[in-house]
Structure 1
């Protein structure tokens, strides 16, 4: 997402009663919490009620998938956002960790049919992580939490649209394009 697009007000609105959960890694907690807080603000701007935002802490990024799974299986949760930070070290542990977490979260989204979003930064330095995690008012450049929240809203709208195409129900967020037949 471009910086300009990320700074523009969000155009889509969440349906009333939409509930979103965040799972936040304890490693580099300050940055992970900053991403989750930025996501919360963006979701509230899209219509999320404060009481419909749930946060569960995880010990680290490796534990995000199992906690996200528990939340994604709940009928009252519409989307799960996962926030973590994996820094490159002297060994290749970061590659194995980030890859396994990404695959597990994607598999979870596919198996449950619920949006499970990957807000896990994979950076070489804390400076890179701060630039990506923090909102501009706190010295960041990318505001990954906001990006993840926007993606959640867009995926929820697209799923609703996919479920309602041709059903006679109105679609939220997007209008289905009907192909004309010759």
Structure 2
């Protein structure tokens, strides 16, 4: 399995009851993998703050991966599209500048309503997306190890 992976998990507090499910799915998938890991969780006010924190964490060199989770909803204006694009672009830039893999578990539904059926659906979806992020972290860690062996 290799050495323990140090993972930073950044999550936005908007719709925390939904977004927190990504951490649960991520943690469950990592534990099921058998890969040793530690996880530090960082709560930020909203999605917009995630790229800066990801960049700062990446620059420390203390983490092997950064996972960011947020729910950016359409509140009847187009602002959510701009926020979502800025967040994804910022996370990509952070990983390119720091050389630390950075993952987005950020959803931008156009039809979200604070009703039970929507909340239930997105809570379940975030669990799945968290597990997908864990699989991506594990896959990239193996690829990083292969690259290290080439040097």
SS at match of 2:106: strand
Q: Give me the TM-score of the superposition, normalised by structure 1.
A: 0.73
Q: Structure 2 CA distance, aligned partners of 1:128 and 1:80? A: 27
Q: CA RMSD in A?
A: 2.1
- In structure 2, the residue matched to 1:154 is 139
Q: Structure 2 CA distance, aligned partners of 1:129 and 1:87? A: 12
Aligned positions, number: 147
Q: Gapped runs of 5+ residues in structure 1?
A: 1-12, 135-139, 168-182
The answer to whether structure 1 residue 38 and structure 2 residue 32 are counterparts is no
Larger radius of gyration: 1
The answer to whether structure 1 residue 164 and structure 2 residue 138 are counterparts is no
Q: Structure 2 CA distance, aligned partners of 1:18 and 1:146? A: 16
- In structure 2, the residue matched to 1:131 is 121
Return closer, same or farther for 1:129/1:109 CA change in 2, 3 Å cut-off: farther
SS at match of 1:19: strand
1:45-98 deviation line (CA, Å, top 9, x unaligned): 223446x11101010111111111222122221100000000112111111000
1 or 2, which has the higher helix percentage?
Answer: 2
Q: Give me the TM-score of the superposition, normalised by structure 2.
A: 0.86
Q: Gapped runs of 5+ residues in structure 2?
A: none
User: Greater RCO between the two (CA within 8 Å, min separation 6)?
Assistant: 2
Q: Structure 2 CA distance, aligned partners of 1:158 and 1:82? A: 21
1:17-36 deviation line (CA, Å, top 9, x unaligned): 21111001000001111111
The answer to whether structure 1 residue 23 and structure 2 residue 13 are counterparts is no
